Structure 1
Amino acid sequence: MPQYNVTLNKDASKDDLEKAKQHVKDQGGEIVSEFSLIKGFTAKIPDDAVSTLQSNDKITVEADGEVRTQ
């Protein structure tokens, strides 16, 4: 399964975060790690579940990948 970073807007509640994590689990995904400075997590998510997460205006979903500086 591909891995994604899921982040929530600043105005999202802790309940919104828990619902997003539960949605991933309900769709057969797995939480890999949780962020401490922002509301969000990294998860392995089935491709068909990504679009339902992205439809929530409080959530941003981005493919996880290597980050480089110049």
Structure 2
Amino acid sequence: MRLAILSILLALLAVCTLAAAPQKAVIVSYPKDTPDFVLAQARNAIKEAGGIITHEYKLIKAFAANAPAKALESVQAWGAQYNAVIEEDQVVSINRNSH
């Protein structure tokens, strides 16, 4: 009985720890000559770290994601050879008064 309770508590602790990792909304982009496997590797790293790919762009080599900062650091390091750019995903407006 004690083992079952301990197992449940450890599982809850693990879930809470993963849920507590702050996620950032980003767009990850690469130059057009970047091999497809590089993007696949970056998307997989984000998913494995508990992130979510929210959009995959078709006209450019890029994707949007919500990901933990630690995963983004890894993606940036792997993509350095291919000039990966990681930007905060935000609303852009041409109207000065809009937010």
TM-score (norm 1): 0.87
Over the aligned positions, Cα root-mean-square deviation in angstroms equals 1.2
3-state DSSP of counterpart to 2:92? coil
2:94 is matched with 69
- The match for 1:60 among 79, 85, 92 is 85
Query: Unaligned 5+ residue runs, structure 2?
Result: 1-22
1:21 is matched with 43
- The match for 1:32 among 47, 50, 54 is 54
Identity of aligned residues (%): 30
Report the structure, 1 or 2, having the larger helix content: 2
Count of equivalent residues: 70
Q: Which runs of 4+ in 1 moved over 4 A?
A: none
Query: Unaligned 5+ residue runs, structure 1?
Result: none
Provide the rounded CA distance (Å) in 2 between the counterparts of 1:3 and 1:15.
22
TM-score (norm 2): 0.64
Report the structure, 1 or 2, having the larger strand content: 1
